Structure 1
């Protein structure tokens, strides 16, 4: 299938996070047609894009050959080059993935293997605490892999810069435009918001936490469904940020698509501890008291709810306990930095909510997933490293789903 999008087509994009804007930019710069972005919030990057830790992943964890692995590698380079072009901050602070004891050495070796296959640049295996402390002077552990080129950025600023490119190329970005209906009308698609109606030749939905809702509007398979997980961060007290040079990560549990509580020096030098992974009670539930009975009921009645709960209830109890009880959260962090004091976790910062796709059998989807329903393309699962991969995902979608057909 050739990657040819019809010139002069009217293309609608649902969602103003970094994926939607990256797609709008790629199409506008290709002069593919009249590009319009519909974003329900009054600003761009309002949800996952603006609430993540800002890491530009190098590709350590992902199954070789998967979309995550291939698009992360390409996306990292694109993000780096774009930041250099636009004068946006891009800091290679490096990432240390630490095995805290010998029971984690097998999983660490698997990360090293995947990293090598995925072409992670200049990866180094470190043995013994003294070698680890050459990279992170306050860390403890028995071994680690070090990715010196893992970087940190401001994804909201990148999204705004790409939005300027869209507008400069003649595209439109309409804020406060929540999509409430999508209707096929012959060869065109009518998209209705609360205040307007638009007619497009093609539609691409990058709706994140609402991706299954939009998929339902176009008649796509209800599966996968979005299960929101809130990730909560603590911030180190300013006088204690010298405990962390770059990023310190645990060896993740391969059963879950989450990386565990870790330390990240941000692009503006604040150091964050987290996130955890707590099932949220609303799709956009950034606080415990943010509760949507509708969202919660839809999750509970999903066929995959009981299998998921049966398999992972211990993990859920552990994450919820750490969220509610600071000492439990603190102990997870102190495991890697013994000098850490509970008072060093100075304040909780704004949480993020991850749009995690799950199937009817309770399985949590790991790789990126895209559906096609006629002229409508729906991104169904785009968790981390989607921000890192955003420009590469845009190229991939254009090449594989927007090619003009006879």
Structure 2
């Protein structure tokens, strides 16, 4: 059982007021709030060990390097990667996906197929479209049903020896659907395809085991798991990371440079050109330590309770429709009220101190499937409460009255 009030006290931003009302923060799928331990770790880095890493013989550089590499090992153990050099620091999920898609330009040829799903965020669609344009490969889409679930029977029909990579999200940011990625990975591997999992929305709720999943790549962002913005990781199997060419050229990723030829550094440095977000990488480890101290099983159980309560309460509002009704979903509720634009609802509840997201959530194909301009999305975290959900329900009722 979580002591929610004790947890909330660790997040300074939650004590403030917005428009004269206590802040209710239900935009966690966009970014999470940060506990004091993470905020303090950011300050401590700049106050105590700020220096460039891997290059200096002086004490501060050694301290910064040690902290950065300790964080890499923490992340390795958190996701159960086989080697710590399979963890590549990135600026976030989008960076990780682009790194892999760029590398696959050396793998694909005209006529090959790249498979994405209808549930993807734009960051897991656009890089693959760009790759297909460059290589002559074809983009194939796994369809979804009215509940917001992928149609696995169609997925299996679409797979063939032409399929070179399947890339799907672990959890839909727009609908909260938890995809059956283990089954997807197994089926893709049967035809020899690689698999990338976009874990941006899963990482706050689920502790992934990349060896048990057997995925080839897994990416997530730090800012969604109580860590700093501009931080994240790409996990890749050693064999794949050795096979793909570097994404960027510069310092750190080299072994030897002459004007005639450059040889590249070993993993993970091959993919970490230039001075990285050192503070972000170090404090990402702090954030993961914090979430593990809370406990992912505890987080999942409590957030499921919030999801069920929020679903029940919101459906009390006449004319309200929830999009994404999979039985297997996380704490995201996307909804509309008949005849009212989602932006108008979001603007009114904001005046009452409640932060929700409105729009297409960078998932326009999903909105096109449902033939809607967007939704109001309330996304819950382990520091939210049922009382806050009650406040949201009353705010939505008020918005409905004002806008009807």
TM-score between both structures, scaled by the size of structure 2: 0.23
Which protein is richer in helix relative to its size? Answer: 2
TM-score between both structures, scaled by the size of structure 1: 0.23
